Amino acid sequence: NAGVTQTPKFQVLKTGQSMTLQCAQDMNHNSMYWYRQDPGMGLRLIYYSASEGTTDKGEVPNGYNVSRLNKREFSLRLESAAPSQTSVYFCASMKTSGSYEQYFGPGTRLTVT
Amino acid sequence: AQSVTQLDSQVPVFEEAPVELRCNYSSSVSVYLFWYVQYPNQGLQLLLKYLSGSTLVKGINGFEAEFNKSQTSFHLRKPSVHISDTAEYFCAVDGSNYKLTFGKGTLLTVNP
């Protein structure tokens, strides 16, 4: 069991470039989440997907889009990167019945110059 | 909507001393409460959670937390810390909608 995997681990972009962060889970979880972590800010929810085929905005969705490709995969896209999007991005998944525990990936460290 | 306040951004302690990391929350609905730990350059992992039942919850690595509904608090404690407990700790609340709201984190530094 790999749990939650994220690619890439590190990325440097120039302002205006686009990229997609990939996330996959092998735990057959229904819900998946994208967070960003900034110093002194904790984790803030960008988008989430309660189940395959559905996505909803979180606290800080501006500048991002998501795709729930299938039950396993949930990608985050930056169409035109800005320096304010420099952050560490975490993907998480949860079963949504019983445990309420979210399982986190190792993170992607993104720098936008 | 719910919110979480972690009252200390940094807590330095000496090895084998007790520690308490404080967390207060606000919510208009019943909540589930969590503490997560993040070791340097890693993702988050669950320490413990309160869903219902006993208000004293025990987690991994000797940590425990007490849910106090009247004071809307969920403080994390450990009677004797180790160097390896140095990490950032996040309190989080789920207002029964499968979305977590996190506090800003408390950096626990355990010194020899």
- pLDDT-above-90 percentage for chain A: 84
pLDDT in tens, B54-86: 899 999 999 999 999 999 999 999 999 999 999
Q: What's the mean per-residue pLDDT of chain B?
A: 93
Give mean pLDDT, residues A14-19: 97
A27 pLDDT tier (thresholds 50, 70, 90): very high
**What's the pLDDT score for residue A98?**
66
Mark yes or no for CB contact A100/B32 under 8 Å.
yes
The yes-or-no verdict on residue A100 having pLDDT over 90 is no
Give mean pLDDT, residues A14-26: 97
Mark yes or no for CB contact A94/B98 under 8 Å.
yes
Give mean pLDDT, residues B22-42: 90
**What's the pLDDT score for residue B96?**
63
- pLDDT-above-70 percentage for chain A: 98
B94 touches chain A (CB under 8 A): yes
The yes-or-no verdict on residue A35 having pLDDT over 90 is yes
Q: What is the 3-state secondary structure (H, E, C) of B22-90?
A: CEEEECCCCCEEEEEEECCCCCEEEEEEECCCCCEEECHHHCEEEEECCCCEEEEEECCCCHHHCEEEE
**What's the pLDDT score for residue B28?**
75
CB A5 within 8 A of CB A23: yes
Q: What region, left, alpha or beta, does residue A112 occupy, with left being phi > 0 and alpha being psi -120 to 50 degrees?
A: beta
- End-to-end Cα spacing for chain A: 36
Mark yes or no for CB contact B90/A42 under 8 Å.
yes
Q: For residue A98, give the chain B residue with the closest CA.
A: B51
B49 pLDDT tier (thresholds 50, 70, 90): very high
B4 pLDDT tier (thresholds 50, 70, 90): very high
**What's the pLDDT score for residue A40?**
87
Give mean pLDDT, residues B7-22: 97
Give mean pLDDT, residues B32-59: 93
Mark yes or no for CB contact B102/A96 under 8 Å.
no
Q: For residue A101, give the chain B residue with the closest CA.
A: B46
User: What is the spatial distance between Cα A11 and Cα A86, in angstroms, rounded to a whole number?
Assistant: 10
**What's the pLDDT score for residue A63?**
96
Give mean pLDDT, residues A56-72: 95
Of B27 and A11, more confident? A11
Q: What's the mean per-residue pLDDT of chain A?
A: 93
